[in-house]
Amino acid sequence: MAVAAAASKADGQLDRRALGRALSRIANTSVEEALDGMRETAGGASRIGITGPPGAGKSTLIGRLARQRLDSGAAVAVVAIDPTSPHTHGAILGDRIRMDGVADDPRLFIRSLASRGANDGLADNIADVLATLDGYPFDEVILETVGVGQAEYAVRALVDTLVLVLIPESGDQVQAMKAGTLEMADIYVVNKADLPGAERIASEIRAVARLRRRLTSDWEPPVIMTAADRPDDIAALHDAISRHLAFARASRNIDEVRRLRREYHVKSLLMRTVTDILAENPRAVDCSPREAFELVVARLRERRR
Amino acid sequence: MSTLKGKRILIAKPGLDGHDIGAKIIALALRDAGAEVIYTGLRKTPGFIARVAVDEDVDAVGLSLLSGSHKELVAETMQELRSLDASDIPVFVGGTIPAEDRAALTEAGVIGIFTAEMRLDDVVAEVARVLVPVRAA
Ligand code: B12
Ligand SMILES: Nc1nc2c(ncn2[C@@H]2O[C@H](COP(=O)(O)OP(=O)(O)OP(=O)(O)O)[C@@H](O)[C@H]2O)c(=O)[nH]1
Ligand SMILES: [Mg+2]
């Protein structure tokens, strides 16, 4: 499962066919194969995570943002995740169509993924997908999570800069998110600022941001109000991302970043295995919790032999 | 159920054709059969459709055509796929395809032609038959 050697064609052009296929192979990797191929990352492309509730405008903003970052000279890839139905296993991968305006720009590489078994806002094998992109000549990868609620912030471990997109209607969510996703972001966006209520939610978030600054770091997360159609707002977001990427590069402890990414990777493979085991043994939980637990642990051991 | 699990399918609308009801119905039907479906939206060029098929590395492309220009647009899309080293990606066609044009499209390499007279279940079953290798029992 090594990174494809032929990252680009002889003429230096990105080999999109090879990259497209490499990403499918990685996305379809079993846990067993993934364990053997596990790679360390950090040091490849800068990673920008865009998360937030369903319909907040993540894809629309990414479309505008990608255009701006391409124009500033960066080679950009977008990875966008949409939810898989747990019942049919099907998915409509609808993020690309929202990235209008830039989706037909041949400079941009967009890959849509279904979450499949993952229920943390990401997709199965996402760590390896991102690691694979590190083997290709991208300066930046923008990762769109599934529309999330209060607690799906696994993306934090995988990106350098995390942008949380909220909307005026998210008012009540800000309260609920205080102990979860809200604490994780580096940049807050109140999108759909053309709708009423944006200023009120922005000031609530500013209060959270100030508190965070006091508690933890040298970075005070900016709160940016955007309407996707206002170029100045997109420019402000673009600048904030550039500033945070520079800050993260200068201040992060690379060993710690690697450790967190490895931890996410191992945890997600374990979760997937446990989910599979429970699906294969639907009667496993018909006993006491302790017995069910022991059964799963035993099955886990068997798999490793 | 879930016969198309893990299959990635691009549903695309080439040309100036603004009829999208059939394309959307097919996208949802394939999703409900377990496929991961990407829809391009209306009025895309064959070049764009081929590039998305390659970037997304789909298992099949389904072109929805109700404009009457199916012969030209199918030929162009196949040509664009070839130029991107992706002629191995199977192409389906659906929409208003008169019986007398079917042979020409099949000749051009299209592996399935679907019209509004067919039952949705049969359309999905036929797509699955082509895309999912039958496992030896
Ligand atoms: C509804 C309709 C419209 C609506 C479209 C609304 C919309 N958002 O889609 C409106 C009113 C806007 C419209 C406008 C026009 N229309 Co009109 N329209 C129709 C009509 C009556 C029904 C189409 C439809 O939605 N059917 C229902 C869906 C579910 O069926 P379907 O699209 O065929 O899809 C099924 C199958 O074909 C197949 N399928 C389709 N795509 C795919 C893809 C894959 C991969 C697969 C596997 C299967 C598959 O599965 C689907 C489900 O069973 C047809 C007549 C007809 N009988 O088809 C004319 C028709 C398509 N229109 C026609 C024309 C000419 C026009 C106009 C140019 C002007 C006019 N004279 O009315 C404009 C131009 C619009 C444009 N910009 O392209 C002609 C096209 C002639 C041709 N093909 O040569 C038709 C055939 C009418 C006719 N007999 O003249 N139209
Ligand atoms: N009024 C207004 N609508 C917007 C704005 N940005 C996006 N939208 C609309 O919001 C809807 C959802 O946008 P998306 O970009 O698909 O949102 P998303 O967060 O990616 O959605 P999911 O991926 O489904 O979670 C679309 O109809 C957009 O047109 C904005 O600034 N103002
Ligand atoms: Mg989206």
Same domain for A82 and A225, yes or no, is yes
The confidence score (pLDDT) of residue A214 equals: 62
C-alpha pair distances (Å), A43 with each of A46, A140, A186, B35, B76: 8, 11, 19, 35, 41
Give the mean pLDDT of A69-92.
95
| Beta carbons of A73 and A105 less than 8 angstroms apart | no
CB A114, CB A91: distance < 8 Å: yes
Chain B residues close to A138, C-beta within 8 Å: none
Confidence of residue A305 (pLDDT cuts 50, 70, 90): low
Q: Tell me the average pLDDT of chain A.
A: 87
| pLDDT at residue A112, rounded to an integer | 97
Q: How close B132 comes to chain A (CA, Å)?
A: 15
Better-scored residue on pLDDT, A72 or A285: A72
Q: Give the pLDDT mean for A30-47.
A: 79
**Whole-angstrom distance, CA of residue B49 vs CA of residue B47:** 5
The whole model's pTM is what? 0.93
Q: Is the pLDDT of residue A12 over 90?
A: no
Same domain, A197 and A299: no
Which of helix, strand or coil describes residue A263?
A: helix
A174: pLDDT strictly greater than 70: no
A-B contacts at Cβ under 8 angstroms? 73
| Residue A11 scores a pLDDT above 90 | no
What is the number of the ligand 2 atom nearest to the C-alpha of A82? 23
CA distance B68 to A234: 41
Of A231, A252, A273, the position where a domain reaches its end is A252
Structure-model confidence comparison of residues A250 and A181, the more confident one: A250
**Which segments in chain B show pLDDT lower than 50?**
136-137
Do A164 and A70 touch, CB atoms closer than 8 A?
no
Tell me the nearest-neighbour CA distance from A201 into chain B, angstroms: 33
Same domain for A54 and A136, yes or no, is yes
- A265 and A146 part of one domain: no
Within-domain flag for A220? yes
Q: Do B37 and A111 touch (CB under 8 A)?
A: no
Percent of chain A exceeding pLDDT 70 equals 88
Report the number of distinct structural domains present in chain A.
2
Task: Say if residue A5's pLDDT is above 80.
Answer: no
Candidates A50, A60, A143: which one to mutate for ligand 2, based on the most atoms within 8 Å of Cβ? A60
Are residues A236 and A201 part of one domain? yes
Nearest ligand 1 atom to the CA of B123 is 47
Based on the domain organization, do A117 and A68 belong to the same domain?
A: yes
In terms of domains, do A115 and A185 share one?
yes
Among positive and negative, which fits the CA dihedral A272, A274, A276, A282?
negative
Quick check: A97 and B84 CB within 8 A?
no
Burial of B68 (0-12, 13-18, 19+ CB in 10 A): middle
Residue A185 amino acid letter: A
Q: Tell me, yes or no, whether A162 lies in a domain.
A: yes
Same domain for A222 and A157: yes
CA-nearest residue, atom 3 of ligand 1: B19
**Domain co-membership, A284 together with A230:** no
Domain of A283, in residue numbers = 261-303
Q: What share of chain A is helix, strand, coil (3-state, %, to 5)?
A: 50, 15, 35
Structure confidence at residue A232 as a pLDDT band (50, 70, 90):
very high
A203 and A77 fall within a common domain: yes
Nearest protein Cα to ligand 2, atom 25: A54
Task: Taking residues A120-145, report their average pLDDT.
Answer: 93
Q: Which positions in chain A touch B8 (Cβ < 8 Å)?
A: 24
Among B38, B42, B58, which would you mutate to test the A interface (most chain A Cβ atoms within 10 Å of its Cβ)?
Answer: B38
Question: pLDDT band for position A170 (50/70/90)?
Answer: confident
Comparing CB atoms, the residue among A28, A96, A100 nearest residue B38 is A96
- For residue B66, which atom of ligand 1 is closest to its CA? 83
**CATH number for position A233:** 3.40.50.300
Helix or strand (DSSP H, E) at A4:
none
A137 and A275 both lie in a single domain:
no
Q: How confident is the model at residue A220 (pLDDT cuts 50, 70, 90)?
A: confident
The pLDDT value recorded for residue A178 is 62
Taking contacts as CB-CB distances below 8 angstroms, the residues of chain A near B31 are 85, 88, 90-92
Model confidence pLDDT, tens digit, residues B17-57: 999 999 999 999 999 999 999 999 999 999 999 999 999 99
If DSSP codes are grouped into helix, strand and coil, which group holds residue B71?
helix
Fold of B8-129: Rossmann fold (3.40.50)
Look at residue A269 and tell me whether its pLDDT is greater than 70: yes
Q: Tell me, what's the pLDDT at A68?
A: 95
Q: Is the pLDDT of residue A8 over 70?
A: no
Average pLDDT over residues A121-133: 93
With an 8 Å Cβ cutoff, are A88 and B39 in contact? Answer: no
CB contact under 8 A, B56 and A111: yes
Count, in order, helices (H) and strands (E) of chain A.
11, 8
Question: Residue A3 pLDDT more than 60?
Answer: no
Instruction: Identify the pLDDT of residue A173.
Output: 66
A283 and A190 fall within a common domain = no
ipTM value > 0.85: yes
pLDDT of amino acid A4: 39
Would A2 be classed as within a structural domain?
A: no
Q: Strands, DSSP E only, in chain A?
A: 46-51, 76-82, 91-92, 109-114, 140-144, 161-166, 187-190, 223-225
Residues A193, A225 contacting (CB under 8 angstroms): yes
